[in-house]
Structures are given as structure tokens and as C-alpha cells.
Amino acid sequence: MSNIGRSVQREDVEGKVTGETRYGGDLRGPETLTAAVIRAAHPHAKILAIDLAPARAIEGVVAVLGREDIGGTNRHGLIKRDHPVFCDERVRYLGDALGMVIAETPEAAKRGVEAVRVQYEVLPVVATMRDAIAPDAPALHDFGNVLATQLIRKGDAAKSLAESDVVLTHTFAMQGVDHAFLDLEAGYAEMVEDVVTIHASGQWVHEERRLIALALGLALERVRIVQPATGGAFGGREDLSIQIYLGLAALTLGRPVRMQYTREESMIARHKRHPMEIEYTLGAKKDGTFTAAKVIIRSDEGAYASTGPAVLRKAVSHCTGPYRVPNVEADGVALFTNNCPTGAMRGFGACQLAIAYEGMVLAMARALGMDVVALKRKNLLRDGECLTTGQVVPVASAIDCLDAALARFGWADRAREAPSPTVRRGYGVSTFCFGVGYGDGYPDASRARVRFADDNVLEVYSGGVEVGQGLHSLLAQIAGEEFGIESSAVRVIASDTARTPESGSSSATRQTVFSGNAVKLAAGELHRQVMDAAAVMLGLHWEDLVIKGDRVVGVHHESVAAPLAWVLASARERGFLLDATAVYKPRTVAPVDDSGQSPRAFLTYMFGAHIAEVWVDIETGEARVKRIVAAHDVGKAINPREVAGQIEGGVAQGLGMALMEEVVTRNGRILNASFTDYIIPTILDVPTIDAVIVERVDLEGPYGARGVGEPPLIGAVPAVLAAISDAIGRPVHQTPATAERVWTIMQSPEPTLVTTWSLS
Amino acid sequence: MIYHRPQSIDEALALKSSLGQRARFIAGGTDLVVGIRKGRTTVDSFVDLSRVPGLAGLTRAGDTLRIGAACTHAQLEREGITALAQACETVGGPQIRNMGTLGGQVGTASPAGDVSVALIALDAVVELASVRGTRSMPLADFFVGPGRTSLEPDEMVLSVTVPTNRKSVFYKIGKRDAVAISVVVAAASVSPSGDVAVGLGCVAPVPFRPRKSEQMLRGHPLTSERIDAAAAMAASEVSPISDHRGGATYRRAMVETLTRRLLRTLADTPYEGLLSVAMSHS
């Protein structure tokens, strides 16, 4: 029986359901101290003086640490090293840290933080992107307020637009979004001999180790990161958070330390999804054939770079999505402000652009009087065609996903009548794509080790972190597959910098392809070692042997057989280690010239199609999503139930972004930094989600798998917006589409648009 | 911190009288504890009302229902008073509704208190008690500002009494379908003699009754024209603010929309049919 394509039960399910699983906040050692961070009082200010002495005088406070206690660069950041551990001259947002208090109790730590006196010279706040580019804007970094620019030049967009039959321009605006994972930043650190050992949840333990070692001025060997059980990440654990404070505290005091953010601190300190403004011009011929796109993207970067340059590149390189647009001129700019830094979040720039290009496709269908599904069919890429970056996609399966979604939805028979005199029914269809991995030539590799342990249990070692997505179970399925061993019998040792090889981040929808392949390669090598040993033991050529159940048997001579355990014992007696390591490091290519074109910007692309049914109260603007069908080409679903789970979770998160989630920021302050006011969907807000798994074999991934993580969110947002738009007859180009926004759109004088639907 | 658990209403009132302002009554604690954790509220001692006999009772007498202050929202979902049941169903989630009490709901005096809005729309009367005795007043008069009530420092909310013979209805606009503070909330009821009462939330410093609008309806049948005029009048009476939950323009417009919608429902629905009216299309 194959492990692949089976909905095996994950190894972490039971503990999570019974409550036995220990997350970062559950970890403690003997006589553990509590640490708390001293944060900025202003979004933008010069630091004149910091007086830590009053905090030291508080009863129960053990130590107060500041900039002078840091031995290294005092900087971290995933792309640019621009984020200070403790600010020395200036604070640039309210989450900036100035120092930390370590105390016997959480209460004493809090009192210590409150006792610190800081003298500031308050500086003007760069609150918006408009502020950032004003002629007299204060420069937030040495090089100004422009973090990055990105562009695409393909064909001649200006000329083509001038010759197009229909040219439409629309403006889109997307909000800041919080990751809202339930497992708050929390962890524990201690010194084990002279190694700072940090138990805290991130997304890439080996990179976190490097960043901490550099910032604190430690040799790499003196930092160890171990990931505890993690309750969600969604990109929100990519930038460093508590790990570095925990490490500094344990290192300085030599005592066990723990810390945990409050929800408010988590929301103020942690990066967000980039708010973006997009101006989009799309041209088409009378028959609907797209001719050209001109796209301008402005991205609010907040105070520090985080992964901003990569997010901007992903936005630009996905600006026409899964459509064939021969002429493209796209320009993106990322601007610093005094808002919360913005960085990675599920969708990584591609999500905002999907809202824009799908909004344009819908607008174009209306302008042409065409059925939007027919317009999509006309312009969706087919196998072997080129994306905007010039990259050829061998499997361009948006069209397959569209067909699968329409069939599952029962599109031809969908109801059209209004549910009540004040409620209208709307349908929205989205098609989209997403590049897997870091891409653009950025170093991207996964390593894995697979071995038979002394107790003959098959072991997988991976640095890849489990953040809720089911990675470790998937790696066990793949390793076991090579030996016919059930995944539940495979032991996974993971995400510990002292014990596991580096496997890159759990982000960019990359782990199934990257770590999956690394494990498959290592398992394949181990399989060769075992078969060699069996060949010697049984006197047959290794090609004439095969593993069947728990035995090695002759392919042509079933009478020749030995228990696998005997073979392993024999191998060890002859000095074999039964231990294999492999690296999977495929090539991607940076833009080859100043046109932004790349023959392989991303390793592979995922495609999908969603259909949403939304009911809109036309008097109040309230929109309720009644049903979503989400079809995704995942190449091969290694664990179909987990794939469906990722699709359902991504759709729910996308529904939140479409309808309610919004980080409201005024003058550098977040007004809704709590779960009372930052509204995420509850179970009552999430409708039936039909996950449709399409499997067109990927050329790169293990067993043809392509991954699933991010695209379900990307597809849900434009589908919901299109459905609202269908219900109210107006474009909806701003997120979230709250009742008030939808109502406001309906009050505007613009004439009602009619969506033309055909029974396609 | 001292935690008192009195065995009777009299003992509770005596404790409060002697302990003063910084002693707080606690029952479900769903609002008070949050306030303490956030540092909004300082408390020296608690007087726990959750086990005081006689405080969680529901008493029907004639055409009224007297609701003890320690009754939970979950209890009130099942009492057959439409607006009250609909309002209680929208409060928090099941855990909050099982803990949060009526006394806490009205004592908190939130302008966004969904159940308070339903209660004033039912023309509810609140009964207050202290060692000095008891007194009653219309609930709408009990609220004097955001978080402020007519309670004296030694007083507690003893009960709220609502009529059982009014047709009533409730509607809430929130940012999601559960555990959401309202953007705008409204309720309305009509008595057998045709008197209409309207309650509005999130559009004034207190749960608000648009008296001029109600006056326009007094003694007249609920015709479409009169309803439209009364709804427009209600919108002119409120004083909404803009905050991160919603803008003043939208809130004012929704006062008109919801008042019209609720009054039409009252006009169109047979007296007995109201419990099954699906106001929400969800």
C-alpha cells in the first residue's frame, strides 16, 4: 500500500486535541525569570536619553538590559539588516524596542518596563505613503524613504493601449492585515553549557540562528534554536520577534527566562501584510483578447524593510496573473512610513495583485458586454505559454481548475432569484496563479537526512518547521514510501538547529516541493544502501531484490527472502551507517536585464479557480458568503485531507481579508490592536467550502506534488469581491468590503453595471 | 484583594454600603474582569452575586416578566420575548452568554449594549436596591453617559421588568456574525394599544430612544408613509460618532434604514408570528 495520496492521520493531532501539546507559552524551567520589552512611546522620535535606573530599583527586577548590553551588530532583518534589536538613536514605529526588563515575576517585569524613563524629541510622523514622498518628508532611513522599486517591461504597452478597442483604468486599495495566529509569541531560553538554547516558534530556525548570532555577536555554535509546537504562522513568524530577547536575557544572566507577548503587543510589534494602492490599466480588442496592461503599485513598507523588496517583486511579477497579456509595463515602489513594518503574509504580494487583475477582468467583461467566464477562457494561459516574466509554464492549469470549479458548483443551474426584497444574490469567479519558492535566483534549498536508527526505526531529520500545515507528517509519508513503511512508524526529528540539517523556511509554499524532494532523495540513497547490504547478504544482485512489507525478497526468486531487520543488522555488522543526507537545490534565475524578465523566476507555478456565492443586503451593505468552491491544482495531493484543510483555512482567511479584517492606523498608531476590535471570521461567518483537488503532475515536486499553502487565500478574496460586485452592480475595489464600504459604493452616482452571464 | 460571597441580597447590600466605591459587584465577570486586566478598572474587593438566592429568578406576573439581575443572557434567549431573545443570541459567543448577566449588561451602560437597546425598546423598568431601600425608573433614564448610570455608590441593579404583551423585533449590524461589537443596533416594539418604542445603539452616548420619532407614531396606524417619516425623524435625533468600527454618515443612514425595517416588520407581522420572523438573511 502506498503512503502517497492517503489521508493519514498526523502525528500531532492527538496532543492538540487533548491539550497535551506544549506550545511556546507552556515552557518553563527551574526558577524561570520573565522578560518584557520596553517599547517606543512615539511612532517617530529621536532618543535623547534613556534612564533604566528606576526599573532596576523595582522589587523583583533582576536586570534591565539596553543597547550597551548587545555585543554584535544590534541589527536583524531578512533581506536588509536594518531592524535594531534595541534602538539607539531613533524610534521609527511604536513597536520599536529600547531595552528589556527581566524579573522574578511577570508583574515585576511589567512594573519595571513602566518605570523606565525615556526622553524623546518627537519628530513628524510619516503616516501615509503620500507623506513619505512629500518634498519635505523626513527621511526614515539614510537612503531616504524608498526601500525598493521593481518593474516589468514586456513588448510596448503604451503603443498597444493606444491601438486597443477598449481601455479601462481602475484604482484599487488593500488594507494592512494581521496574521492573527492564536499562539501568541511565547518562548523559553536557557544556557546549556555555553550554548544559548532558545525554544520559540519561528518559520526558519537556521536563519533565526544566524540573525541572532550576528546581532548579539556570538559564534554560530553558541546559538541553538528549537521550535516547540506552533499554533499558526502565515508569514507572521518570519521576522525575528521574542527569540532574540530571550537569547540575550539567558546569555546575560545565565538563568532560564521565558516571555510572552500580549495580543496587543503582538499586534503592535509584529509586521503586517502590505497595504497597497494599485492603478491598473487594461486594454483589449473588441473580441475580448487582452492587449496590454499598465500597472503602478505603491506598497506601504512601514518602518523597516522586512521582506518588502521580495514582496514587491512578487507583486510585480504576478501583475497579470494567469492571463496572456503580450504587452506589460509595471512599476512598483515600496515606501517607508512610521507604520508597523510590513512583510511576509500568506499571499506575499501576489494576493493584492490578484484583487487588482481580477477586478480588471470583471470590469472588462462588463465593458465588452461579455460573459466573464468566456473572457477568462479567451485569455487564460495554456500549457507551454509565457507568464509576464517571460517564463514558460509547462502546466498552466487555471483553465482546468476553472472547469472543475464550475462543474462542482453546478454553475449552469445556479439560482438567480433574490432571496428577499432587500437581499440580492451575487456570484464571483476568480482565477489566479502563484510562483512556488523564493524565486528570482535567491538561494533556496532544503536538506534532509534519513536513516535507520539503532532500534531499526526509520528516522527523518529536517530543519523544516511545523506551523500547523502538516509538514512533518508529509515528510514521514515520503520517507516511508521508499521502504513501504507506514508514515506513523516513521520517526521525525525536526526544527532543531543542533540536530537537523537546514531546510529553509516554512513559507513561500515551498516545503512540499523542497523538503519533500530532499527527503525523497535522501530516502532513495538510504534505500540503495539497504539494498546493497541485502545483495551481499542474500547473494543476489541488488536489482533483483525488492522490499515487500517487512522483508527483502528476490524479484524473481520469492524463496530468497530475509526480514528487513536482519538486513539492517547485517549491514551494521559490515560497517554501514544506514544514514543518508541529500540536498534539493533547484535553479531559479534573477531578472536577466532591466526589463524584469526571467526565464525561470519561480521553480513552478500553482493555478486555481474559486467561485463564491454571496448575499448582499442592499439596504445595509452587509455581505454574507454562502458558499465557496475552491479548485486548486496541487500536482499530487500527498495527503488529500491535509490539502483540503489548507484550502479551507486559506479560504477562511481570505474571506476575513475580503470582508472584515483591517489594521486601522492613524498617525502611526494602530487603533484596533486587540481581538475585540481586529475582527477575524468566526465559524458562523465561514460558509460551506468545497475543496476541489485538481492533480496535473508537477515536473519538479515529489510524486508530482506542487504544494498548496498560499493560493487558497489568494483566490478567495477576488471571488468574494466579484460576487458582491455582481449583487450590487458596482465595482468593489477596496478591501475589506465592510457593510459600510459596500453601502457607500451603492450610494455613489455611478450607473449600475450589469454582469453578463452565459451558461458556459 | 478581598473576595466576599454574601448569602443574601441584604448581606450583599450591607457589604457594598460599608466597602464603598472600590468594592465591585461581580457575577459573570465578562466585562469587569476584562476591564481589570486592561487596567481600566481598579477594584479593592469583590462582592460575588452569582450565588445569592433570589437574584437569578424569572417571575411572570400579568403581562410582565421580572428578570433578576443575575439571570444570564443564555436564559433570556429562551423567554419568548422576541427582541430580547434576538439581542441575547447576538451577544458574544455561547461561553459569554452562559456567564454574562442582565445586571452586568445594564450596569456596564455601553452605548453599544445590544441587550440594553432591546430592553429600552421594550419600555423596560429597572429596579435598584441599597440598604436604604429600593427604587425603580425607566431603563432608558437609567443610562446617563458612556459607562455611566444613575446608580448610587451603595446601589445594585436588582431586576429589570419588561412587558410580555408587546410585539418586538431587533436587528444588529456587526462586522461579523458573532462576538462582535455592533456598528449599529436597533430594536422596536409595539404595545397592544399601538404605542411604539424604539431603541438605538452605537449612535448616541447611551442606548437611545428617539422620542420625537416615537411621538410621530403615537395614536396612528403604522402606515408606510408614517413609518418612513418616523425613520427619517429617528435619523435626525441621533448623534453618532466616527470611529474604527464605523462612520457617522453610515450610522445615521442605518438608523433610518433599520428603524424603517423594524417598524415595517412590526406592522406586517401577525402578533403571534414574531418569534419565527427571520430578520437576518443569514
- ipTM comes to 0.94
What percent of chain B has a predicted confidence (pLDDT) above 90? 87
In chain B, which residue's Cα lies nearest the Cα of A656? B176
Find chain A residues with C-beta within 8 A of B183's C-beta: 739-740
Whether A672 sits inside 8 A of B93 (CB atoms) is no
Residues 634-673 of A with CB under 8 A from B: 659-660, 664, 671-672
The pLDDT value recorded for residue A749 is: 80
Q: pTM of the full predicted structure? A: 0.96
The pLDDT value recorded for residue A104 is: 98
Q: Is A319 helix (H, G, I), strand (E, B) or coil?
A: coil
Of the candidates A620, A660, A677, which has its C-beta nearest B244's C-beta?
Answer: A677
b/e per residue B4-41 (b: at least 16 CB within 10 A): bebeebeebbbbbeebeeebbbbbbbbbbeebbeeeee
Distance from CA of A743 to the nearest CA of B (A): 8
CA-based end-to-end distance of chain B: 45
Whether A620 sits inside 8 A of B257 (CB atoms) is yes
Whether A419 sits inside 8 A of B246 (CB atoms) is no
Per-residue pLDDT averaged across B245-250, rounded? 96
Per-residue pLDDT tens digits for B42-63: 899 999 999 899 999 999 999 9
Distance from CA of A20 to the nearest CA of B (A): 23
The pLDDT value recorded for residue B270 is: 72
Whether B250 sits inside 8 A of A744 (CB atoms) is yes
- The neighbour count for residue A608, using CB atoms within 10 Å, is 33
Whether A624 sits inside 8 A of B250 (CB atoms) is no
Query: CB distance from B181 to chain A under 8 Å?
Result: yes
The pLDDT value recorded for residue A751 is: 58
Q: What DSSP line would sit under chain B, residue for residue?
A: -EEE--SSHHHHHHHHHHH-TTEEEESS-TTHHHHHHTTS---SEEEE-TT-TTSS-EEEETTEEEEETT-BHHHHTTSS-HHHHHHHHHSS-HHHHHH-BHHHHHHHT-TT-HHHHHHHHTT-EEEEEETTEEEEEEHHHHEEETTEES--TT-EEEEEEEESSSEEEEEEEESSSSS--EEEEEEEEE-TT--EEEEEESSSSSSB--HHHHHHHTTS---HHHHHHHHHHHHHH-----BTTB-HHHHHHHHHHHHHHHHHHHHHS-GGGGGG---S--
Find chain A residues with C-beta within 8 A of B281's C-beta: 419-420, 423, 615, 617, 624
Of the candidates A624, A659, A740, which has its C-beta nearest B282's C-beta?
Answer: A624
The pLDDT value recorded for residue B279 is: 38
B199 against B244, higher pLDDT:
B199
In chain B, which residue's Cα lies nearest the Cα of A738? B175
The pLDDT value recorded for residue A641 is: 97
Which DSSP helix (H) or strand (E) runs through A722? Answer: helix A711-728
User: Are B1-53 and B168-275 equal in CATH topology?
Assistant: no
**Topology (CATH) of B1-53:** 3.30.43
Of the candidates B176, B250, B257, which has its C-beta nearest A660's C-beta?
Answer: B176
Per-residue pLDDT tens digits for A574-583: 999 999 999 9
**Mean pLDDT computed over every residue of chain B:** 93
Of the candidates B177, B244, B250, which has its C-beta nearest A685's C-beta?
Answer: B177
In chain A, which residue's Cα lies nearest the Cα of B248? A740
Residues 157-176 of A with CB under 8 A from B: none
Domain boundaries of chain B, sorted by first residue: 1-53, 168-275
CA-based end-to-end distance of chain A: 41
Of the candidates A671, A676, A739, which has its C-beta nearest B181's C-beta?
Answer: A676
Query: CB distance from B257 to chain A under 8 Å?
Result: yes
The pLDDT value recorded for residue A558 is: 83
Whether B176 sits inside 8 A of A622 (CB atoms) is no
User: What single DSSP character describes residue A220?
Assistant: G
Whether A624 sits inside 8 A of B253 (CB atoms) is no
Sign, Cα dihedral of A242, A247, A248, A250: positive
CA dist A728 and A738 (Å) reads 14
Query: CB distance from A417 to chain B under 8 Å?
Result: no
Query: CB distance from A682 to chain B under 8 Å?
Result: yes
**Interface-testing mutation among A424, A616, A622, with chain B (most B C-beta atoms within 10 A):** A622
Find chain A residues with C-beta within 8 A of B254's C-beta: 620, 743
Whether A685 sits inside 8 A of B178 (CB atoms) is yes
- pLDDT > 90? residue B94: yes
Ranges of chain A whose pLDDT falls below 50: 757-760
Distance from CA of B36 to the nearest CA of A (A): 14
Among A353, A424, A431, A415, which residue's Cα sits nearest to residue A724? A424
The pLDDT value recorded for residue B274 is: 47
Give CATH superfamily name and number for B168-275: CO dehydrogenase flavoprotein, C-terminal domain (3.30.390.50)
Distance from CA of B248 to the nearest CA of A (A): 10
Query: CB distance from A622 to chain B under 8 Å?
Result: yes
